[in-house]
A and B are shown apart, each in its own frame.
Chain A
């Protein structure tokens, strides 16, 4: 009969699954030099099952009952957590015990500090809390590193985890900022249009009052190289100065000036004033574009301890994006340079179109209203 009852309830259970949360603890670790700061939330129900908290057996755990067992809680918990670096123990010591409410009930909160014999470079954590009593229990770890937060799950199948605190994460950080840089150039139409405006006439030279196609690739290549290098150098300078908070400019002014730079660069193709030394223009306006990049970088948030890494990564990303655009543009423009299509439609028509778009940006940014999106 009893067996049948199990079958019966099982039938229903299979379909309904459990209605309560399983047992988890939440462990947060923050390594800092030789120290590891920790916070560990452990369900009171689990602690009661393991070491007994409800001393008057009335089914209610009071603050007084928990407080009376603080030493036992600390000893039990810390006996089930090993923190090591380079094979050396980092013994933890509980500093305070608090209480917190999670979605499934009250948790004891243990704040602790572990001191390692040397600076923590690799962290090995071995977790065994409650695994003997409840093999379905899991320890959910959040590892707070300056660059990023990592999570991991401890289970009886995987009680030990190892983390590299620098090396890999620095590289990852660099790559992340590099990607941001590429992405920003790719979606930053104002920067692309500025660069294109300067590059469009690179396959021509101005003579007898009009643009004439160049006869060889070499001067076109050098012209482009000078322009791109000047632009890069200039915006790297201001990007660094702004990111390091040496110079700060209001963003509305910067954004308006960037739009103006696009208008002027395009206008110069239609009514050439500067033709030999467009790299000077690229340098001068590049200084302004650098402030624009800096505001993006500020929005991304800069890690305090690896500012230079992030800055270089972002800048390299911007260059990589730029180079991709240039290397797609130059061969195409060179191939088409003698055609009427290039001179009339691309160089002349394109520049007019860029002027129009950039003028609208300028008006929008200077007067703070929205007509088109950039």
Chain B
């Protein structure tokens, strides 16, 4: 037992060590564990993957095997937040990856992978082609709606949501359009519709319920109804699903409420996840806990590594890090703007951009977001307050 504890501590130190790391070494003990694989090789899911890989290696052009394998890896990537599986999925689709008109199933999967890599335009092109061929493809409608929402192309998203709902009336299809409404000036109605959809679908799976509850909590939070938001977050957490998005959203809710101690309690075991580690470090910093420094160094190391490979998948988190930890609002603003320009335009992306522009004293830098807020009649109380402060700064009022 103590030996396990020691091992755990050592691995904890390693995962928090800066990327530059120590000097390479030769371990003394052959039994020393260097690395733990995220999934045991004896896991049935892994055995299934190995079998499919074997089949595909024998004949790389077998479409059914390739689709099955790519689909499984894609889900693994999504569930574990691990981009390596995206590469494995792409590799399974190699014969079709560069084709202009691959089979419809490949198009939809390829779009999923491309959107994961933030190549939104290419993903949209694939989905549009797939829907032209097969208008009954529910997955393609839903993928495209989501991408439009992320890119703040709300009218197109709404159209796809309606297409989806006309073909399927399940909970998620019913929740699609209210999700758009909540971002375009109808948050109160959207909240009621979502709550109603949740009530009408008692048979929905826990993960579907989690998704709708998270949306409800966010909308309540945007409208400033904090008690309701808290209740929805708590119901979602009670489902017992380890969901990164929910944890991030709730942690940010708590940070806004100046309840950092609860964030530490919520996330203290989640240090292996970069997105959650950042929120944990934010909470630790406001509590002036010593762990804030090691966690800050770990995040810095990961950002350095991402910059080395010229990765642009985490620009908004990088912007938060620059603003809060490195106290560099100009760089934070630059990153937040680049993120926005790449098409990542959700309320959280808007928020860091506004905060950075305010801290940098550059209201002009936030013009695109101010325009977005006004055009969509956005209702988020925090975003509106930040926008008002920026306008006051711009017009020279105190």
Contacts and interface: CB of A to CB of B under 8 A. Distances in A.
A2 B150 CA distance: 23
Interface of B: 14-15, 17-19, 21-27, 29-42, 71, 74-75, 77-84, 86-88, 90-91, 94, 97, 112, 115-118, 138-139, 142-143, 146-147, 150, 170, 172, 205, 207-208, 211, 214, 243-246, 248, 272-276, 298, 301-302, 305-306, 308-311, 313-314, 346, 348
A20 interface: yes
A59 B39 contact: yes
A11 B146 contact: yes
B310 A153 contact: yes
A3 B298 CA distance: 36
Contact of B207 (A5, A23, A44): A5
A287 to B, nearest CB: 44
B15 A16 contact: no
A18 B308 contact: no
A63 B83 contact: no
A5 B78 CA distance: 11
B83 A136 contact: yes
Contacts of A6: 71, 74-75, 78, 112, 139
B24 A99 contact: yes
B17 A23 contact: no
A69 interface: no
Contact of A4 (B24, B172, B244, B302): B172
Nearest to B10: A101
A61 interface: yes
B302 A104 contact: yes
A45 B34 CA distance: 10
A48 interface: yes
Contacts of A15: 150, 245, 346, 348
A24 B22 contact: no
A22 interface: yes
Interface stretch (A127-135, A163-171, A236-244, A362-370): A127-135
Contacts of A45: 35, 37-38, 84
Contact of B308 (A48, A64, A140): A140
A344 interface: no
Given A18-B83, A66-B34, A109-B24, 15 more contacts: A4-B138, A9-B78, A13-B78, A18-B81, A18-B86, A20-B273, A24-B309, A49-B88, A57-B40, A60-B37, A62-B34, A63-B29, A101-B14, A133-B91, A153-B310
A16 B275 contact: yes
A246 B146 CA distance: 71
A100 B22 contact: yes
A138 B27 CA distance: 27
B78 A17 contact: no
A352 interface: no
A105 interface: yes
A103 B15 contact: yes
8 contacts: A14-B150, A18-B77, A20-B82, A49-B84, A59-B40, A61-B37, A62-B31, A136-B87
Contacts of B311: 22
A10 B112 contact: yes
Nearest to B13: A101
Q: What are the 6 tightest A-B residue pairs by CB atom distance, in nearest-first order?
A: A64-B30, A134-B87, A136-B87, A19-B81, A98-B24, A59-B40
Contact of B91 (A13, A106, A134): A134
Contacts of B88: 49, 133-134
A153 B33 contact: no
A106 B244 CA distance: 24
A371 interface: no
Interface in A80-134: 98-106, 109, 132-134
Given A16-B244, A23-B87, A58-B40, A98 B170 contact: no
Interface string A1-42: 001111111111111111111111000000000000001010
A278 interface: no
Contacts of A136: 83-84, 86-87, 90, 117
A45 B39 CA distance: 11
B35 A44 contact: yes
A18 B313 contact: yes
Contact of A99 (B27, B42, B346): B27
Contacts of A60: 33, 35-37
B32 A62 contact: yes
B81 A135 contact: no
A198 B90 CA distance: 72
Interface string A282-318: 0000000000000000000000000000000000000
A11 B210 CA distance: 12
B211 A12 contact: yes
